[in-house]
Amino acid sequence: MGFARAFAWLNPSYKSGGEVGHMAGKKQAARIPPELGELRDSIDNIDAALIYLLAERFRCTRRVGELKATTGLPAGDPQREKVMIKRLKALAKDAKLDPAFAEKFINFVIAEVIRHHESIRDGGKR
């Protein structure tokens, strides 16, 4: 599945072809209301888009890790992380998403990025 297909949820007429669509079997699909099926299709497509976005983010942070390793910069940057957290909490609030959830999520991502940066710095020995 390509990046463009992951964003197909933006098109209300999009129907999943089974690759990403309902996780339930056809037997169960006959018993659920159509709106529930449509919402599940949307959720599945949004999840796919999130995965592709995270993959792209990690491609960028991998390069950041390489640059940090070659220039002797530390894997983590607490000042930048603080700014990111503040910015994402504000975005979450504007989007009517729990800012505490957004903070937990970005802290998890930051920890994983730092782990990757340390691995790059150590020659991939982690």
The predicted model scores a pTM of 0.73
Confidence bin at 39 (pLDDT 50/70/90): very high
Whether residue 31 has pLDDT greater than 80 = yes
Distance between first and last Cα of the chain: 30
Q: Which residue has the higher pLDDT, 124 or 121?
A: 121
* Domains along the chain with CATH numbers: 1-73 (no CATH), 74-126 (1.20.59.10)
Residues 6 or more apart in contact with residue 46 via CB below 8 angstroms: 9
Residue 45 is encoded by which pair of tokens?
């497509």
Q: Helix 34-71 vs helix 99-121: angle between axes, to the nearest 10 degrees?
A: 40
Residue 40's alpha-carbon distances to 1, 7, 9, 10, 55, in angstroms, are: 18, 15, 11, 14, 23
Q: What is the mean pLDDT of residues 97-113?
A: 98
Query: Mind listing the pLDDT tens digit for each residue in 60-89?
Result: 999 999 999 999 999 999 999 999 999 999
